[in-house]
Structure 1
């Protein structure tokens, strides 16, 4: 079991997952900015189609506003996905029984829980940096400031909904791996299939868990949930505010991530196996 958890193949999966997620997020970051603002802000000015709103923000606040907080987000995302992919694939390789959708779901929940407990402080800080460009100069400065002012509780604010949200990547990976197994059995799985499969898996997972994501976003920036609760009483659909932008951003990000992930894994493992064979 130990050799599977700490083997080079597990490390390759983790590095490939981190790389793919960073590229995917960087490519579609303006959509993530829009989604965050729709979740947190009370203003009705962010109404309209996704692309209309992206152009509106760029015109009114400058193009740089769409990329505010990009660097800390990519730093946090790389750490987060490294932990998730490493844990998920380490557990799969350690398992002696045959892979199944239920096992993938269980491994996804465990990997997600470990990831949340380790990386929550990173997301608390970069969420705040996204809304105030002058708040901190670096992720490390933000971590120190939140700890000094709010203590451990502040760094892990929003952890409960985050733990509930481990269902999101768990569902995503369960669907992805299930479809992948079937396509591999039919010898029809390639990197482009990975793109489409990743998109489908993420779309389903995001839609099912979106209300929890909205609550999580508000807690991370220190917003009270009372105004949201009052709005939901008159209009329950408020819980899905920003879903269109979130679906577009996460689906395209996840699709690109899985495409790059599969390519990197295949390339690195092929090179390493050739070297081992030559020896």
Structure 2
């Protein structure tokens, strides 16, 4: 999905409206990059993108599950409410956003520059060094405040996802009771189709509600070097400049491309995560049963 992520950022920082519908915009943009920069141009910045996504998902699930475990007293307490899911998700998102922000700054700048540009970053570590030397630690954390605003995206998504999952488990439990079957830990799993619909629906709703912050963040992070005269040097100036020149539609640049990119990736991530978590849970339960049997 990397080439679509590349296009999303390019559309976000662009000031001119691309021609055609979403499909035509994506095709023409990909074709233009391939013609001007070759196949490698479509994968510019893939290193920072992989590092950012892998670390973000890994850290998020680590913090989120730990917070849920603590909130339910290691699973012995009552089920969490929608508000508690929202709070756990927001806290996990905030910590993850602060830790990974420098990676996203490098990613945005690599996405919006050509590899043959003499000032272009050669990779993630080169980007870190260059930004630190020219802008200091503040340059690496450019857009962090907006990343924290973006906590609402993950919080809304996971709150909706957990509520839909809870509804799915209750529906499955009732069906098994009607059939006279006992609900066991091995049944604590939904179909891949259910996980796909739930993760896609929750992501779609959350992204539509919170998308403008991504456009503002990309435009701020793309500003290099930061000068006092830059129109995108602060959150307020970026918002004013975008609204004055592009109107409300400017805050939704690249939304269609982002939906095409992010929905498949999100669904695959959640389906893989839920299946792996279930398999690990079953393996742990089997180990406990064998330990009890041997004792």
**CA distance in structure 2 between the aligned counterparts of 1:54 and 1:163, rounded to whole angstroms:** 29
Matched with 1:200 is: 201
**CA distance in structure 2 between the aligned counterparts of 1:179 and 1:244, rounded to whole angstroms:** 25
> How far has the Cα of 1:227 moved from its partner?
7.0
Rate the CA distance shift 1:113–1:203 in 2: closer, same or farther, 3 A.
same
Deviates more, 1:203-212 or 1:181-190: 181-190
Aligned CA-pair RMSD: 1.9
> How far has the Cα of 1:203 moved from its partner?
0.5
The answer to whether the Cα contact below 8 Å between 1:101 and 1:174 also exists between their aligned partners in 2 is yes
Whose relative contact order is higher, 1 or 2, with alpha carbons under 8 Å and at least 6 apart? 1
Rate the CA distance shift 1:179–1:227 in 2: closer, same or farther, 3 A.
closer
> How far has the Cα of 1:228 moved from its partner?
5.9
State whether structure 2 residue 65 is matched by structure 1 residue 117.
no
Rate the CA distance shift 1:70–1:228 in 2: closer, same or farther, 3 A.
same
5+ unaligned residues in a row in structure 2: which ranges?
Answer: 73-77, 174-189, 225-230
> How far has the Cα of 1:119 moved from its partner?
0.9
Structure 2 matches for 1:137-176, cutoff 5 A?
137-176=122-161
The answer to whether the Cα contact below 8 Å between 2:85 and 2:158 also exists between their aligned partners in 1 is yes
5+ unaligned residues in a row in structure 1: which ranges?
Answer: 1-27
The answer to whether the Cα contact below 8 Å between 1:105 and 1:170 also exists between their aligned partners in 2 is yes
Matched with 2:7 is: 34
Matched with 2:182 is: none
Residue correspondences, number? 251
Output one character per residue of 1:170-208: Cα deviation in whole Å (capped at 9) or x when no partner.
000000000000101111832220111000000010011
State whether structure 2 residue 243 is matched by structure 1 residue 232.
yes
Rate the CA distance shift 1:102–1:227 in 2: closer, same or farther, 3 A.
closer
Structure 2 matches for 1:75-114, cutoff 5 A?
75-96=51-72, 97-114=78-95
SS at match of 2:172: coil
> How far has the Cα of 1:160 moved from its partner?
0.9
Give the ranges of 4+ consecutive aligned residues of structure 1 lying more than 4 Å apart after TM superposition: none
TM-score, scaled to structure 1 = 0.83
SS at match of 1:186: helix
**CA distance in structure 2 between the aligned counterparts of 1:59 and 1:244, rounded to whole angstroms:** 18
Matched with 1:56 is: 28
The answer to whether the Cα contact below 8 Å between 2:196 and 2:268 also exists between their aligned partners in 1 is yes
Larger radius of gyration: 2
TM-score, scaled to structure 2 = 0.79
SS at match of 1:48: coil
**CA distance in structure 2 between the aligned counterparts of 1:155 and 1:94, rounded to whole angstroms:** 32
